[in-house]
Amino acid sequence: MAYSDRDRLIALAGIYQAVHCVMRIARHGSVDTAAVEPCLFSLFQVDADNVASVFGPPGAVSVGARKVIEQMTNTTERDMEPTRYVITLMKLEQRLAARPDLLAAIRAGIDEATVMLEHHALLDPAIFAHMADIYAKTISSLPPRIMVRGEPLHLNNPDNQNRIRALLLAGIRGAMLWRQTGGSRWQIIFGRRRLFDEAQGYLRQPAVHDR
């Protein structure tokens, strides 16, 4: 299947959106649920019809698209921490791709979570806890370890820890989609203009979760 620059932008925006949510929770203890929902939703989309539908309705990763634009705009004031997280998630996904045992464990865990959705809402603490457990038992065993920086008050909160791990797992899902659509570090380095233009185009479309 041939993928477009828009597909790659959506995948990259999905990673940046997950990272944005992680950083908001780590630094402030809260984050807009409209930004979190597409990230969690993506974990359950195993056989999506197209790349955009992995995250939900049009505009679902608008927050991530704006972060892509911020990181690709030449300014000495830009925050490089999000990009460091994104690069680490991409490295982790590459290592995960070589571990069929861990991939099978993640798939089994998500199947269990799918059953849980019959009795719990997508953003229910029980779903976050389950996804966090999947992350702890699989991704946490791979190098490099992600060291999330933030306020100790927020980082030591068990519910926040679960949300952060679940969102990092969603970031891995986005990184997998990025690789599957032909994304690479070269795309980010030499295809910045195309990704920037696609991000702007994505933000101009009617959006449901554009907050």
Percent of the chain with pLDDT over 70: 95
Has residue 48 been placed in a domain? yes
- Of 18, 13, 12, 17, the residue nearest 166 (C-alpha): 18
Mean pLDDT, the chain, rounded, equals: 93
pLDDT tens by residue, 141-200: 999 999 999 999 999 999 999 999 999 999 999 999 999 999 988 888 778 899 999 999
What pTM, to 2 d.p., does this model score? 0.94
Structural domains in the chain (count): 1
What are 209's two structure tokens?
């979760």
Has residue 112 been placed in a domain? yes
Has residue 127 been placed in a domain? yes
Integer Cα distance of 101 and 17 in angstroms: 28
Is pLDDT of 205 > 80?
yes
Percent of the chain with pLDDT over 90: 84
Distance between terminal CA atoms of the chain?
A: 32
What phi and psi values does residue 106 have, to the nearest 5 degrees?
-65, -45
Integer Cα distance of 19 and 82 in angstroms: 6
Is pLDDT of 210 > 50?
no
Instruction: Please classify residue 26 by burial: count the beta carbons closer than 10 Å to its beta carbon, then call 0-12 exposed, 13-18 middle and 19+ buried.
Output: buried
- What is the model's pLDDT at position 192? 86
Is pLDDT of 208 > 70?
no
Looking up tokens 């464990």, which residue turns up?
A: 105
Has residue 94 been placed in a domain? yes
Instruction: Please classify residue 200 by burial: count the beta carbons closer than 10 Å to its beta carbon, then call 0-12 exposed, 13-18 middle and 19+ buried.
Output: middle
Has residue 22 been placed in a domain? yes
Domain carrying residue 28: 5-204
What are 186's two structure tokens?
């070269």
Has residue 175 been placed in a domain? yes
Has residue 209 been placed in a domain? no
**What confidence tier does 75 reach under pLDDT thresholds 50, 70, 90?**
low
**Could you tell me if 97 and 47 are in contact, meaning their C-beta atoms sit under 8 angstroms apart?**
no
State mean pLDDT over 54-74.
93
The CATH number for 150's domain is 1.10.3890.10
3-state secondary structure 4-45: CHHHHHHHHHHHHHHHHHHHHHHHHCCCCHHHHHHHHHHCCC
Has residue 82 been placed in a domain? yes
**What confidence tier does 46 reach under pLDDT thresholds 50, 70, 90?**
confident
Amino acid at 40: L
